[in-house]
Structure 1
Amino acid sequence: MEITLQTKLTLCPLNIQLDQKNYIVEDVASGEFYEMPQICVDAIQLMEKGLSLGEIEEKLKTTYQEEEVDILDFANQLIELDLVKEIDGEIIHKNRHIEKKEGFLWISPKVGQFFFNRFMLNGYGVLLILNVFLFIFQPHLFPSYKDFFVFDVMNLNILVWLMITFCTVIIHEFGHVLAARGYDLPTKMGIGHRLFFVVFETDLSKAWSLRKNQRYVLYLAGMCFDQVILFCVLIAQLFFPNEKILAVIVLDIFIRTLFQFCFYMKTDLYYVVENWSGCYNLMENGKQWLSKWLPIMKQVEKTEIFKEEEKMVKLYALFYITGVTITCTLFIFYYIPQMIFTLKKTIPHLFLFNNSIYFWDALLIVMQLLIFISLLFYSLVKKRKEISQTNIVHEK
């Protein structure tokens, strides 16, 4: 349906709230969120008053004399986003996606508010400081790569690690869930990946319906629960210094906390920085800026970087490099030593060719290593082909 300056639009129900620099517009029916500048919000409010597009354009040109105003283009964008209900009184018949409010609604908001109120948030901060002091003044509590090895049978160590990681990650994610429920927001858990690690993740997209300061609670909730576990386990280690399972838990939470600083992934702390900066394409813009200096990132899709965001984008590039450095450090001091230690312990048993548990343990370790290397090689080859195809398209 063609629209003209005489056209009047009726929009779908929208929630609009002021953010740092722009506004967050929520489509109530679908639950989708859009960032829009003041001029767009003014246009929407004038549409809701029943003005024609021509009348709206005249008012906007008077108010925003230094900006180019194209109300027809904006109106077409609203139609493409499925935010228009009627055009000149005629209903647009579209199969709109109506979001179902589901996801841990059985948890009362009061439960979330119990765990995430001002008093408890200060308490989590105190625990963080206490944990740091425990590591400083009790250096024997600091995790070592050898803490991974509880048993002589390596596959048992892997099984224990997986079980502990599963439990601590669930508790971490449930922190996000309770924080969301504290604001009476629906949420859900899913499975995703960071690099080649499979992870649980909580959908916090509804955080956009909150004010800026409230979003921090949702993003940091998982790490708050991590600090509780870490503090309890560190205290337990003081009384039971030879309990190896406790050391595994400390190692697990310590490594996961360091990974939060790997800003080349969208970690909890990445969203904190993004929320603080108000640059909601921070990763995409940061990679684009880095691609000027790092040829390996030339395939990054181009996005628009606004002048007021340039300083933050350059700062994120520093965070990005820091995150890569942290990852390399973890591999150097934890993952690679663990792998070397595992192979030293298992490979000799592989050549005994007996029916002992250590022989089968060594065989399983080698098989897992070969599978991992094969998958990694396949991933690298696939990525290289994608980059080559992208470069061919750009050359054309």
Structure 2
Amino acid sequence: MNLDITADSKVDCSHLSIQEDIDDEFTIGDPHTGEFLRVPKVAVDVIEMLDGQISIGEVKEAVSKKYNEDVDVIDFVMTILDCKMVYSINGKVLHTSINREPLLILRRLGSFFFSNVLVCLYAVAFLAVLFLFIVNPASFPKFQDLFIYETVGISTLNIVVVAWILTLVHEVGHLLAASKENISTRIRLNLRMIWLVAETDMTGLWARPKNNRYVPFLAGMMWDVVIIFACLIIQQVTNHPLIIGYSKLIVFLVLFAFLFQFIIFLRTDIYFVVSNWKNTSALHQNSLMFLSKIILKKNLPEWDHLPEYEKKNAVWFGFLYGIGGIIAISLFLYFQVPPVLYGVSLVYKSITVYGIDSYYFWDSAIVLFVFILQGIAWLFGLKTSLRQRKERRSTVEA
């Protein structure tokens, strides 16, 4: 395909979204590809005129006259072309394979589950969970709640299956809430330090107004609190040991996942809420620069070129890293270390006490099988993480 851009070319960028930020800066981008740029007002004027009907030369003439300076429209078009933000050139559509809208059924489900009424009910469920934990501290999960069955192998396999089902439910919440905003998403595995996580890519949300992004970012946590609330109620209304056992297991797993979102330096749901609130898409990177400058005494020219409001955001967010670190250590010590040590002790007992012809011996072998499966999933997450780092380095070098 010939992509030569001249003054006579007619370029269509009318599909791009434009969101005003602060300090006369704007975010432009394609919500369906997840490509976004932060640009000044003059670039917005160019985008608004690139409708596929008038030539680049005519756009240049109009914008240069408005700003009383020479505006290099061709260079700007080449930039957004490299970012795959151009819809068509001279009537020829580019990137026809891009899926530009989520399925209708997903949009309808998103509109139902994240209507204003249900969002308010999710908030009520959150307050109800806090109330139930306060009035009945015994309902707070303990690591023993993970082991429903007598044997460690079956219990471990059960934990993994239930945990991934709950993770899928959390991510589907994000997917449906984003679909309500007509944003296509995809669920993938990734790494957050040592933790394997599933995540929903909702980059396209930056094409929506600021207030419209909060519900999709919080959607998974909204469903988490409803699940916890339902399980706490179930524990009060039934005496069936298996049902109670599963409800306690689910509360343990979901509460861990909910609190995990507050480890904001791992770019969790709460991180994106804060990033949206402060009108910055580079809060994590800027905060790392601040910490490197303060703690490691590094001389970073990039820091000096940041706008003042970005520096202020990075400073206070950098201090929040300490809070996130405390939460991470607490979760690790309470939710992960005790069950792992307990499980290892049970495996050791089964292997040393029972022979190879015993059911309990082979039950312990299931634990090894589960670890192998988790290791394979971890490698998929590592692959995604490495690819993202490579893309970020390429962007910086460009």
Bucket of the pairwise TM-score, normalised by the shorter protein: 0.7 to 0.9
Task: Note if 1:251 corresponds to 2:252.
Answer: yes
> Aligned-residue CA RMSD in angstroms?
3.8
1:12-31, CA deviations, whole angstroms, 9 ceiling, x for partnerless residues?
23334333323232348856
Task: Note if 1:39 corresponds to 2:42.
Answer: yes
Which runs of no fewer than 5 residues in structure 1 stay unpaired?
Answer: 63-67, 384-396
Task: Note if 1:60 corresponds to 2:67.
Answer: yes
Task: Note if 1:171 corresponds to 2:178.
Answer: no
Do the aligned residues in 2 keep the contact of 1:164 with 1:249 (CA within 8 Å)? yes
Aligned pair count reads 367
Do the aligned residues in 2 keep the contact of 1:185 with 1:206 (CA within 8 Å)? yes
Separation in 1, partners of 2:180, 2:78: 38
Q: Name the residue aligned to 1:77.
A: 79
Do the aligned residues in 2 keep the contact of 1:11 with 1:83 (CA within 8 Å)? no
Distance 1:78 1:9, change over 3 A: farther
Separation in 1, partners of 2:87, 2:148: 62
Please state how far the C-alpha of 1:47 moved relative to its aligned partner.
Answer: 5.8
Q: Name the residue aligned to 1:181.
A: 179
Q: Name the residue aligned to 2:390.
A: none
- Higher mean alpha-carbon deviation, 279-288 vs 346-355, is at 346-355
What TM-score does the superposition give when structure 1 sets the normalisation length?
0.78
Secondary structure of 1:40's aligned partner: helix
Distance 1:102 1:80, change over 3 A: closer
Match of 1:212 among 210, 213, 218: 210
Q: Name the residue aligned to 2:265.
A: 264
- Higher mean alpha-carbon deviation, 98-107 vs 322-331, is at 98-107
Please state how far the C-alpha of 1:302 moved relative to its aligned partner.
Answer: 5.8
Which runs of no fewer than 5 residues in structure 2 stay unpaired?
Answer: 386-398
Task: Give 1:86-235 correspondences, 5 Å limit.
Answer: 91=90, 96=95, 98-101=97-100, 103-107=102-106, 109-235=107-233
Please state how far the C-alpha of 1:169 moved relative to its aligned partner.
Answer: 1.8
1:169-222, CA deviations, whole angstroms, 9 ceiling, x for partnerless residues?
222222222222323443333333433444333232332232111111111111
- Higher mean alpha-carbon deviation, 360-369 vs 277-286, is at 360-369
1:208-248, CA deviations, whole angstroms, 9 ceiling, x for partnerless residues?
23211111111111111111111110111123475221111
Equivalent residue letter for 1:60 = Y
1:8-55, CA deviations, whole angstroms, 9 ceiling, x for partnerless residues?
663323334333323232348856333322232134345666535366
1:272-307, CA deviations, whole angstroms, 9 ceiling, x for partnerless residues?
111111111111111222222455x98x99676321
- Higher mean alpha-carbon deviation, 228-237 vs 314-323, is at 314-323
Distance 1:42 1:175, change over 3 A: same
What TM-score does the superposition give when structure 2 sets the normalisation length?
0.78
Secondary structure of 2:21's aligned partner: coil
Q: Name the residue aligned to 1:13.
A: 13
Please state how far the C-alpha of 1:104 moved relative to its aligned partner.
Answer: 3.8
Q: Name the residue aligned to 1:360.
A: 362
Do the aligned residues in 1 keep the contact of 2:28 with 2:37 (CA within 8 Å)? yes
- Higher mean alpha-carbon deviation, 7-16 vs 363-372, is at 363-372
1:150-181, CA deviations, whole angstroms, 9 ceiling, x for partnerless residues?
22311211111122212222222222222223
Q: Name the residue aligned to 1:388.
A: none
Secondary structure of 2:266's aligned partner: coil
Separation in 1, partners of 2:270, 2:125: 18
Please state how far the C-alpha of 1:342 moved relative to its aligned partner.
Answer: 1.9
Secondary structure of 1:338's aligned partner: helix
User: Quick one: percent identity of the two aligned structures?
Assistant: 27
Separation in 1, partners of 2:95, 2:374: 43
